[in-house]
Amino acid sequence: MTVTDMGVDGAALPEAARRQFDEEGFTVLRSLFDTAEIAELNAEFTALHAAGPLPGHFEPRATETGGTDPLHRYPRVMHPHRINDLALRFLLEPRLRDVLETLLGEEVLAAQSMFYFKPPGARGQALHQDNFYLRVEPGTCVAAWIACDVIDRANGGLEVVPGTHRMDLFCPEEADADMSFAREYVPPPPGLTAVPVDMAPGDVLFFNGSLVHGSHPNRTTDRFRRSFICHYAGRSAERIGSWYDTLTMDGHRIALPESEGAGPCGTEFAPDGPH
């Protein structure tokens, strides 16, 4: 199976993309953002990295103790939209809103942003389901996963398991700590397999929050696999985890009751040595 290329013209969503999202749980829109926009986003997070730690958002670990994990120096940035105007602009971008509202058939609320550097040698994130963490109820969340580099199997591109979006949340197993920075692992259900999603800078992968997906380590020596990731909920959602925001796409905060069992996306293994 291969991932179908979808173009997008302005705010229009191709019918084939909508059908793929409904039937398989994901779709890719190519070149939704242009080269200059992605370069600006990458430059902003390069500067954020150089400026040093931001407690609660970006917390690199000291490497003097002998640790060699590249994620110690380049951890993901959590909720950058709360501290960075450009990240907030991308999270609330009208092009994303138009696609999301077409896919969901209702107004959407922005819940989370993240930036992954995924430097050379970094572990991946084992197969998982996003709504296991967000706990949007009723229904599920939706992700808009923006490629900020050329992304392929060599540098740890994303894989998805088509069809799992129609299934309930699974109880995860423990992942292999040498392969994944996060603890949770959901094996593909019998008869289903993970397929890679190769992407170019500016492409956006939209996927259902119940879709099983993940990535392998970055096996290159000189290529990052940067991505800016946003999560959303439909306006009809009644509950969400307290870790997350609920913003209208014009930036106004909407209060929703807390759902049970939620937490940050991916429970990280303790920093107990090199990987």
The answer to whether residue 35 is domain-embedded is yes
The answer to whether residue 134 is domain-embedded is yes
Determine the distance from the C-alpha atom of residue 251 to the mean position of all C-alpha atoms in its chain, rounded to a whole number. Answer: 20
Q: Cα(132)–Cα(243) distance, rounded to whole angstroms?
A: 13
Strand ranges (E), the chain: 26-29, 77-78, 108-116, 141-147, 158-160, 173-174, 184-185, 195-196, 204-208, 213-215, 227-234, 247-248
| CATH code of the domain in which 195 resides | 2.60.120.620
What is the pLDDT at residue 68?
84
What is the pLDDT at residue 270?
76
What is the pLDDT at residue 9?
43
Q: Cα(266)–Cα(221) distance, rounded to whole angstroms?
A: 25
Query: b/e for 52-70, b at 16 or more Cβ within 10 A?
Result: eebeebbeeeeeeeebebb
The answer to whether residue 16 is domain-embedded is no
The answer to whether residue 192 is domain-embedded is yes
What is the pLDDT at residue 273?
44
Domain range spanning residue 117?
A: 23-51+74-219+234-248
pTM: 0.94
Q: Cα(33)–Cα(87) distance, rounded to whole angstroms?
A: 14
Q: Assign 3-state DSSP to the chain and report helix, strand, coil percentages, each to 5.
A: 20, 25, 55
What is the pLDDT at residue 31?
98
The answer to whether residue 153 is domain-embedded is yes
The answer to whether residue 86 is domain-embedded is yes
pLDDT along the chain (275 residues), means of 10: 46 88 98 98 98 96 71 97 98 98 97 98 98 98 98 98 98 97 97 98 98 98 98 98 97 96 90 47
- What residues contact 189, with CB distance under 8 A and at least 6 apart? 161, 164, 167, 212
Collapsing DSSP to helix, strand or coil, 94 comes out as helix
The answer to whether residue 141 is domain-embedded is yes
What is the pLDDT at residue 18?
97
> If you compute the radius of gyration of the chain from its CA atoms, what whole number of angstroms results?
17
Q: How many domains does the chain have?
A: 1
The answer to whether residue 69 is domain-embedded is no
What is the pLDDT at residue 166?
97
